Structure formats: structure tokens, C-alpha cells
Amino acid sequence: MGCASALAIAERGAQAVVLERAVPGAEASSAAAGILGAQVELHGPLREHKAALFTRARDAWGPWAAQLREASGIDVGYRVSGVLRAAIAETERAELASEVAWHQSRGLRASLLDAAGAREIEPQLSPSVHCAAYFADDGQVDPPALLRALVAAAARSARITIRSGATVQRLLVEHDRCVGVALDDGELRADAVVLAAGSWSSLVPGVPSSLPAVKPVRGQMLLLDERPPRLRTIVFGARAYVVPRGDGRVVCGSTMENAGFRKEVTAAGLEAILSGALACVPSLGAAQFSCAWSNFRPYVEGDAPLIGASPLAGLFLATGHHRNGILLSKVTADAVAAAVLTR
Ligand SMILES: Cc1cc2nc3c(=O)[nH]c(=O)nc-3n(C[C@H](O)[C@H](O)[C@H](O)COP(=O)(O)OP(=O)(O)OC[C@H]3O[C@@H](n4cnc5c(N)ncnc54)[C@H](O)[C@@H]3O)c2cc1C
């Protein structure tokens, strides 16, 4: 969110400094699966409100991926690979049917497939898969590549300075206005400050206590190496999802845990992901295990991200994106830049 917002602000002609305590992309953004799940991720009480934002966010990705390649020389792995939500129990059919009908009634592409239809889209699906909802327009990017591209594009911009190893100690507030930040080595004053500290956003001293708290939701992930590459489509099962990159790498995720900031990968977490993944795609059992990691989704009560102006003048928000921060990065950056530059 920090790098993307800086790029959008610089594009509009202003100067920006990205302040990062470690290196940009050190946390959730590089750890993500990179699913652009505008439809598969639409559930919960806010689904009606989120539909327009999520699909607009997905639409923004094609042009933005090309723009980032141009600006950085790095391909972010943008692909419209489609998503299957697979059901193994017969009892899930009614739920999938009503989900598909909801999307169709809003003019979004979605279909309910029987077992044969689902396997036509993804031949590696388990014979136990009973039926599936198919969202052909959902896609993916490769988050580590995306973060390298964002940092490279920001570093090449004459209007952006990146300061790695710069921890924001607190916001500077004068006369009810945020006028900059205090760092270890002094103060940095600015016309606008964008809070983009992910799961740590509420921990920055000076952030108004009236803002909803941002809390970490741990997600564990693992990477398999499938040779030769067989899987083509992103598959969501009841307990796990699998994301084939197209070159043999298959990212599998993920847990949703309230574990504070404990960045562990646990035996139970890996077991849950692997058993859920293999239940949908048994052929992954022969894939080689590469590595595993975990990180923190920035979650706000009610699951609505905090984007744009805040109650404190001079402070703008780009945080609380929970499971969908990669999907929402470009639309958030544009909204924040517009808010900053029009005050
Ligand atoms: C396992 C997992 C899977 C996910 N999968 C997907 C997915 O498939 N699709 C999707 O759209 N989203 C996904 N997400 C969600 C997405 O990754 C996040 O919503 C998004 O990356 C949040 O971006 P951010 O910039 O707010 O936070 P972060 O990427 O965490 O960045 C916050 C940065 O702020 C820095 N920071 C914190 N405090 C300070 C301070 N005081 N001073 C200076 N710097 C500070 C941190 O070092 C960090 O680099 C996933 C997340 C996880 C954890």
C-alpha cells in the first residue's frame, strides 16, 4: 500500500517518501497468494457493498500490470487464470448454486459446473469433487514479483524517495493536524501522511484512537514444485486453496488465525493446508515441497478496509485490507492519491 500509494501520488505530480522499517514488501504483501479474487472472495455481510469495488479493482489490474512492467522492467505474473470453488459434499451444491445465481443476477460471469464440467476446466480435480462454481474472470499476480516491481518503479521515479530501515516512531500532530512523522534520526514534515503500516497500523503512536483497530490475522502458506506443471486453474476447496503459477510453482494456503504477531509456521497449519489441497487436487501429493511461511493480514472489525481521509486532518489511510490487499492495491492507491491531492 505504501509503494503503490507513493506511485499514484507521484503520477499526479507530487513528491512522496516511502518510510519502511525493514525493506518494502517485507511483510504481508510479499507473503500473499496473489489471488485477484474479485468474485470468489465476495462473501459476508458487506458483499453487496464490496461487489463494485472488487470488480473495479480487478479491472484495474490488466493496465496496471502493463504499466508496472514498463516502469520497472519486471513482469508481475498477471494472469486471468479463473477460479474454481470446488465442492466435495453433495450438501454444498445448493450453497454454490445460490452463490452463482447471486453473481449472475449482478451481471458477473459465473457458472455452476457438474463434476465433468469442472474437470474439463481443471483435469487435475479429485474424482470426489461433486460440482464447482467457476469464476472465469478472477486471476492472479505473483506477489514477490509485484513487490520487486513496485519498489523498482518507485526507485526509478524522480519524485519518490524510499527509505528502508526508517521506523516511524510517532505521528507529529500540531493544532489538530498531522504535520509529519518522528523517525529515529529526526522529524520529517509533510503536507500529508499516508498510514500504510498494515497489521501494525494501530500501533503507530498518534494514530487517532477513534479509528477502528487494525489487528493481525495470521496466514500460513506453502509452496510446492510440480514437475511437469499440470494444474492450470486456481482451486478453492473447503479448507484450502491452490494457486498454480503456470511454471510448476503451486502456492497453497492458508490458515486464518488469531495468533498475535507470532510469525510461526506450525505442524497443524501445514497439515490443514496440505490435506485441504490434496483433497481437491490429489496429484499434488507427488509435488516436491519447497518452503513455507506465514504473515499477517491487516484486519479491521467488520472487514471493511480503511481508505482515504481520516478524522485527523493531514492523515490519510491505506490499511485494513485483510484478505484482499493485493486485489485492492491499485484502486486504493488511486483513491488515496486523489484524497491527498484534493485534501
Ligand atoms: C498468507 C496471506 C495470503 C494472502 N493472500 C492474498 C491474496 O491471495 N490476494 C489478496 O488480494 N490479498 C492477499 N492477502 C492480503 C494482502 O497480502 C494484504 O492485505 C496486503 O498485502 C496488505 O498490504 P499492506 O501494505 O497494508 O501491509 P504490509 O505488506 O504488511 O506492509 C506494511 C509495512 O509497514 C511496515 N511498518 C509497520 N510499522 C511501521 C513503522 N512504524 N514504521 C515504518 N514501517 C512500518 C512493515 O514493515 C510492512 O512492510 C494475503 C495475506 C496473507 C498474510
pLDDT, position 310: 97
Angstrom distance (rounded) from CA 222 to CA 43: 25
Distance between Cα 284 and ligand 1 center (Å): 28
Q: Is the model's pLDDT at 175 over the cut of 90?
A: yes
pLDDT, position 43: 87
- Report the sign of the C-alpha dihedral through residues 88, 94, 95, 96, in that order: positive
Residue-wise over 153-182: b if at least 16 C-beta within 10 A, else e?
A: bbeebebbebeeebebeebbbeeeebbbbb
pLDDT, position 101: 97
Asked whether 35 and 79 are in contact (CB, 8 A), the reply is no
Q: For 184-201, what is each residue's pLDDT tens digit?
A: 999 999 999 999 999 999
Q: What is the DSSP letter of 179?
A: E
Q: What is the CA radius of gyration of the chain?
A: 20
Q: Given the C-alpha cell 512522496, which residue does it identify?
A: 16
For ligand 1, whether the C-beta of 167 sits within 6 Å is: yes
Please state, in angstroms and as integers, the Cα–Cα distance from residue 274 to each residue in 48, 125, 131, 339, following that order. 32, 15, 21, 43
Q: For 118-173, what is each residue's pLDDT tens digit?
A: 999 999 999 999 999 999 999 999 999 999 999 999 999 999 999 999 999 999 99
pLDDT, position 45: 84
Q: Which helix (H) or strand (E) holds 121?
A: helix 115-121
Angstrom distance (rounded) from CA 172 to CA 162: 20
Angstrom distance (rounded) from CA 214 to CA 17: 23
Return the residue whose CA atom lies nearest to atom 36 of ligand 1. Answer: 197
The type of residue at 245 is: R
Nearest atom in ligand 1 to 221's CA: 1
**Which of helix, strand or coil describes residue 272?**
helix
Long-range contacts of 49-52 (CB under 8 A, 24+ apart): 49/304, 51/106, 51/108
Q: How confident is the model at residue 90 (pLDDT cuts 50, 70, 90)?
A: confident
Q: pTM of this prediction?
A: 0.98
Q: What are phi and psi of 149, to 5 degrees?
A: -70, -45
Q: Averaged over 210-227, what is the pLDDT?
A: 98
Q: Averaged over 100-114, what is the pLDDT?
A: 97
Return the residue whose CA atom lies nearest to atom 1 of ligand 1. Answer: 219
- Whether a cis peptide bond, with omega within 30° of 0, leads into 229 is no
What is the full DSSP assignment across 14-74?
--EEEEESS-TTSSHHHHS--EE-TTTT--STTHHHHHHHHHHHHHHHHHHHHHHHHHHS-
Nine-digit cell string for 27: 511483510
**Which of helix, strand or coil describes residue 148?**
helix
Nearest to 58 by CA among 79, 32, 33: 79
Asked whether 138 and 149 are in contact (CB, 8 A), the reply is no
Q: What does pLDDT average to over the chain?
A: 97
Q: How confident is the model at residue 231 (pLDDT cuts 50, 70, 90)?
A: very high
For ligand 1, whether the C-beta of 276 sits within 6 Å is: no
Nine-digit cell string for 74: 519486471
Q: Averaged over 288-315, what is the pLDDT?
A: 97
pLDDT, position 276: 98
Nearest to 266 by CA among 217, 222, 313: 222
User: Which of 40, 172, 297 to mutate for ligand 1's pocket (most ligand atoms within 8 Å of CB)?
Assistant: 297
pLDDT, position 343: 62
Please state, in angstroms and as integers, the Cα–Cα distance from residue 182 to each residue in 19, 117, 142, 203, 316, following that order. 11, 58, 34, 14, 17
Distance between Cα 222 and ligand 1 center (Å): 17
Distance between Cα 293 and ligand 1 center (Å): 14
User: Which of 150, 202, 293, 321 to mutate for ligand 1's pocket (most ligand atoms within 8 Å of CB)?
Assistant: 321
Asked whether 340 and 192 are in contact (CB, 8 A), the reply is yes
Beta bridge partners of 217: 297
Neighbours of 27 (CB within 10 A): 21
Q: Which helix (H) or strand (E) holds 331?
A: helix 329-342
Distance between Cα 296 and ligand 1 center (Å): 7
Return the residue whose CA atom lies nearest to atom 3 of ligand 1. Answer: 32
For ligand 1, whether the C-beta of 34 sits within 6 Å is: yes
pLDDT, position 140: 98
